[in-house]
Structure 1
Amino acid sequence: MTVPAGFFAEHTRLVRTPLVPEVVLHLADDVAALWQAMEDAAGVGEVPGPGEASPFWAAAWIGGQGLARYVLDHPDLVAGRTVLDLGAGSGLVAVAAALAGADRVLASDVDPYALAVIPLNAAANGVRGVEPVGDVLDDDWGGPRLSTVDVVLAGDVFYDLRMADRVRPWLFTGWVRGAIVLVGDPGRSQLPEALVEVAGYDVADSGVDPARRTTVWRLP
């Protein structure tokens, strides 16, 4: 499934995120208009419609911003290591890990738009080694994609029950196998209780809304 050529140039612009100004991303000013553009493209059979691919990648979620900020402030966590950004969306956290010195970054998402925009965002920030990959939640931790992962970064992945039920045991399995696991979360009710808080940030969620709190957690 191919995203139409020029889609991101037409419907997004490069923006610096409030908490992580070091990183620029292709984001949408009007997500509703972007969604319509996705529907129009799907109507001619080029890409899946929003029922299959929602534009989560077109905004910098504050859970991801907090996690990216923490990684940039603590580069020793990822420097020289293989990192997996789970639910990568725009690739904000993946780019931050690369900027912090990660040797290799796997940016996992199920959305073809996200997988297409992540390389553009990596290039816009002058980083290499960011590799878009699809869904990894059914992969074996001993398999070829996950066996070399040293650090898992998961920004705002507990946003609904179905997703939380998939992610929770997968993260714990990775941790048991020796991976460092960090989660950025803005207070979702599905967040596991076993996590330990390592940092908290107030993030401006939009130009008019008050700042929201986002927290970085680590499996102990």
Structure 2
Amino acid sequence: MIGADPESRRSFILAHTRLQFPPHTPELALHLADEITPIWRMTEEALEEIGLPPPFWAFAWAGGQALARYILDAPETVAGLRVLDFASGSGIVAIAAARAGARHVLAADIDGFCGAALALNAEANGVAVDFTDQDLLDQPPPEADVILAGDICYEKPLAERVMAWLDAGRSRGARVLIGDPGRSYFPREGLVRLAEYQVPTTRELEDMEVKRTAVWTFPSP
């Protein structure tokens, strides 16, 4: 069993992942797993808790890769600005924002492992990113110039809640960018598509080896 302290989780991640370069963002290095089932099972065993959600932090999902690619190719999107990366997972999007020159980046994810994964991945890329494990959906969106969210629409109730929260962030003045690989519950209506990519992935994670993935935003008021 491992504890909740960052050092225990850091050691677990180092033992069960390897430093890799996601195919759509090869300039970024992340500690990633090769297969989802073994690390999922090992996480449950290490925490002595069955029925945990998948270890999203251990993979570079298509929506996150697309959003990170967009930011790296258009650094003016975040340069000099305060950025929030919601449901950060591995931290790929937050790290891309930091690399692109954001003034401050806060990554948020309710999975405590994400904090340790983000710290390792930020270190591997030579950037600084802050982290919170608070459930930000329980409060108004924090002050930010840009809110980033990749792969957030896996389940219908959560997707509806997150999209309403992101819209509230837009209403408070933030620019919202969303990376989505065509999830069933992603509401394309009322959004503007900024870019589209063919993102290499694996059958471990998706139903095909290349996912058509887009970056979206809310229309200007």
Q: TM-score, normalised by structure 2?
A: 0.90
- Tell me whether 1:217 sits opposite 2:216 in the alignment: yes
Q: Report the alpha carbon displacement of residue 162 of structure 1 after superposing the two structures with TM.
A: 2.1
Distance 1:201 1:53 in 2: 27
Distance 1:202 1:30 in 2: 21
Q: Report the alpha carbon displacement of residue 159 of structure 1 after superposing the two structures with TM.
A: 1.3
Secondary structure of the residue aligned to 1:137 is: helix
Question: Taking structure 1 as reference, are residues 50 and 194 closer, same or farther at Cα in structure 2, changes over 3 Å only?
Answer: farther
User: Does the 8 A contact of 2:72 with 2:100 survive in 1?
Assistant: yes
Unaligned runs of 5+ in 1: 44-48
- Tell me whether 1:204 sits opposite 2:203 in the alignment: no
> Identity of aligned pairs, percent?
49
In structure 2, the partner of 1:153 is 148
Distance 1:160 1:53 in 2: 12
Q: How does 1:14-163 map to 2 (within 5 A)?
A: 14-43=19-48, 49=49, 51-128=51-128, 130-134=129-133, 135-141=135-141, 146-147=142-143, 149-163=144-158
Tell me which amino acid in the other structure corresponds to 1:14: L
In structure 2, the partner of 1:177 is 172
Q: Report the alpha carbon displacement of residue 82 of structure 1 after superposing the two structures with TM.
A: 0.6
- Tell me whether 1:8 sits opposite 2:4 in the alignment: no
**Residue correspondences, number:** 209
In structure 2, the partner of 1:190 is 185
Question: Taking structure 1 as reference, are residues 158 and 207 closer, same or farther at Cα in structure 2, changes over 3 Å only?
Answer: closer
Unaligned runs of 5+ in 2: none
Distance 1:217 1:50 in 2: 35
In structure 2, the partner of 1:46 is none
Distance 1:50 1:182 in 2: 34
Q: Report the alpha carbon displacement of residue 54 of structure 1 after superposing the two structures with TM.
A: 2.6
User: Does the 8 A contact of 1:2 with 1:112 survive in 2?
Assistant: no
Secondary structure of the residue aligned to 2:136 is: coil
Secondary structure of the residue aligned to 1:68 is: helix
Q: Report the alpha carbon displacement of residue 204 of structure 1 after superposing the two structures with TM.
A: 1.1
Distance 1:117 1:51 in 2: 21
Of 162, 167, 178, the residue aligned with 1:167 is 162
**What CA deviation, in whole Å up to 9, does each residue of 1:128-148 have, x standing for no partner?**
2x111122111224xxxx12x
Distance 2:14 2:94 in 1: 21
**What RMSD over aligned residues (CA atoms) do the two structures have, in Å?**
1.6
Distance 1:185 1:203 in 2: 11
Secondary structure of the residue aligned to 1:162 is: helix
User: Does the 8 A contact of 2:179 with 2:216 survive in 1?
Assistant: yes
